Structure 1
Amino acid sequence: MTALVSTAPVTTALITADALAAELAGGARLVVLDVQYNLRGPAGRGLFEQAHVPGAHFIDLDTELAGPVAADGRGGRHPLPRPDVLEAALRRAGVDDASRIVTYDQGTSLSAARAWWVLRWAGLQDVRVLDGGLAAWTRAGHTAPTEPTPETAGTVTLRPHALPVLDADGIAHRPATAVLIDGRAPERFRGETEPIDRVAGHIPGAVNVPMDTLLRPDGRMRPPAALRAVFEAAGVVPGESRIVATSCGSGVTAAHTALALHEIGVAAHVYVGSWSDWISDPTRPMATGS
């Protein structure tokens, strides 16, 4: 593992609803990907069929932005996708090698951030996230049709592993100066409750930065100054040469944390398997409490 704290000027990965609408109205060649998702609610495609950004193509988090779950749990609940499956999904959406892409979800950018991170891991460079998602889009007065978007034949060729990925060994042997951020809710981090995984708690040494602390009440990302204050309290200072890693339950919220860190100029390693992978080996140490 090498230090990945950036000192370069920050280029935002976020786009506002009005800016996206202006680009689409101006004929910009964009591919808009709908990544609406509910862990335990209506299927994402059903949400897409109820309303979506005009011209958007649906991509499924469970089956296209993640791979099959191993029987023993190794790799976690949302392991990296098979490149051929992801490539086929993106080609159906009309993605080419040089495509400019915008991803969005219902409103918090949780699953949209997973898409943002996975697509960049797969070698695509110009990927942005609609800040506030479909909720921000409709709140700004833009239309959200229900009719399906015709498939468009794309020619993208993915180049996986363009971003560093952490596994359990990398987490276990991280340097003492590294910061590991866990983005789950505080009660899950402390091990007081665990509604999804079979074991409650967190990776020893992790610092809890719940996703809610990164968002405004309407689901948009907090401004950089506020994000910087949150992360500095967790031990992350932009410009310092120390490793920053992100984790959660299954690697989705970890990508959202990485997006927030990107907004303050910090390039984080994502532990894709996260807690659901960590606990697949009962010999690994586990912690509870704050």
Structure 2
Amino acid sequence: MDAPDALGADMTLITPTELAAMMASPTPPVVLDMRWGGPAAPGSGRAEFEDGHIPRSQWVSTDEELADLSKPGGRHPLPDRDAFQAAMRRHGVRQDRPVVALDGAESLSAGRLWWLLTDAGFPEVLVLDGGFAAWQAAGLPVQEGPAEPVATGDAVVGPPQLPVVDAADIAGVSRNIWDVRTPERFRGETEPIDPVAGHVPGAHNLSARGAHRPDGRFKPADELQRVFADVRPGDVVYCGSGVTASQVLLAMHIAGIDGVRLYPGSWSDWISDPSRPVARG
């Protein structure tokens, strides 16, 4: 199931000041806000957006537009490519404009959109480092209410560009498998979301928490290189449902590490078949 490696690291992250300057240009980017309450509060993201958002930005549903919950394959199966293209066009995404993705602070859902658009071959996908919290902290304008209507875009979702694996591939993986959930979930000591605790046998724990500063911004590239010092192209990364793993792949990209494969279904898909082994400790 592997696809060609992604391009090398580039200037993927932008600051609030840089975004404000881009938005004042004659050809502003399309700004997409993925704030999401997670499994505990899946509908809260839209309410947060309407309480205050970057002017002219659009809210995107992680559950409904960045996943297809009607399919098997874990809690957040990847969306159908045609449906994802239609969603991006609804939000005004165009081939000739950059897309800037953001969420509340830590780029969790923004990382998911970055992965999906990069996989789709979209030419320029940027992430607002520190998300809406950083925008507010910079004292930049905030707009309340629903998103403003936008003209339909012409985004094209092309053939897959990023490497993935499924559960059947895991047995044949000869490279490292990295589980980026918290250490206590990896060890099976607690499982607040999925019905079975533990991890894929042979996996190593590399918590996603290590990629961020306390304010939600990513650590600098040189620090991320140390966080991911043991990661190599061809390795596999997974989490609970594939969302956090996409965020970690973004952090790896910032560090200059590409070609790491995503297990989109992640732990929630692995345990959907009771015959698959589970490790703890």
TM-score range (shorter-chain normalised) is: over 0.9
Name the amino acid aligned to 2:163.
Answer: P
1:51 aligns with 2:48: no
- Residue ranges of structure 2 left out of the alignment (5+ in a row): none
1:189 aligns with 2:190: no
1:24-39 matches, cutoff 5 A: 24-39=23-38
Shifted more, 263-272 versus 156-165: the winner is: 156-165
Give the equivalent residue in structure 2 for 1:75: 73
**In structure 2, distance between residues paired with 1:231 and 1:221:** 13
Name the amino acid aligned to 1:93.
Answer: H
1:259 aligns with 2:260: no
The alpha-carbon deviation at position 16 of structure 1 amounts to 1.0
**In structure 2, distance between residues paired with 1:2 and 1:85:** 22
Pair 1:182–1:76, CA change in 2 (3 A): same
1:179 aligns with 2:179: no
Pair 1:88–1:10, CA change in 2 (3 A): closer
**In structure 2, distance between residues paired with 1:32 and 1:53:** 8
Shifted more, 21-30 versus 97-106: the winner is: 21-30
**In structure 2, distance between residues paired with 1:146 and 1:3:** 41
Give SS of 1:156's match: coil
Shifted more, 135-144 versus 205-214: the winner is: 205-214
Q: Which of 199, 202, 205 is residue 202 of structure 2 equivalent to?
A: 205
The alpha-carbon deviation at position 26 of structure 1 amounts to 2.6
Name the amino acid aligned to 2:251.
Answer: A
CA offsets 1:194-221 (integer angstroms, 9 cap, x no match): 1111100011121211121110000000
Give the equivalent residue in structure 2 for 1:236: 231
1:64 aligns with 2:59: no
The alpha-carbon deviation at position 9 of structure 1 amounts to 6.1
- Residue ranges of structure 1 left out of the alignment (5+ in a row): none
Q: CA RMSD in A?
A: 1.9
Shifted more, 208-217 versus 159-168: the winner is: 159-168
Name the amino acid aligned to 1:271.
Answer: Y
The alpha-carbon deviation at position 283 of structure 1 amounts to 1.4
**In structure 2, distance between residues paired with 1:184 and 1:45:** 26
**In structure 1, distance between residues paired with 2:104 and 2:268:** 24
CA offsets 1:141-188 (integer angstroms, 9 cap, x no match): 11121132222211223224222221111222111xx12221111111
The alpha-carbon deviation at position 11 of structure 1 amounts to 1.0
Shifted more, 54-63 versus 162-171: the winner is: 162-171
Conserved 8 A contact 1:69-1:76? no
Give SS of 2:228's match: helix
**In structure 2, distance between residues paired with 1:279 and 1:125:** 36
% same residue: 46
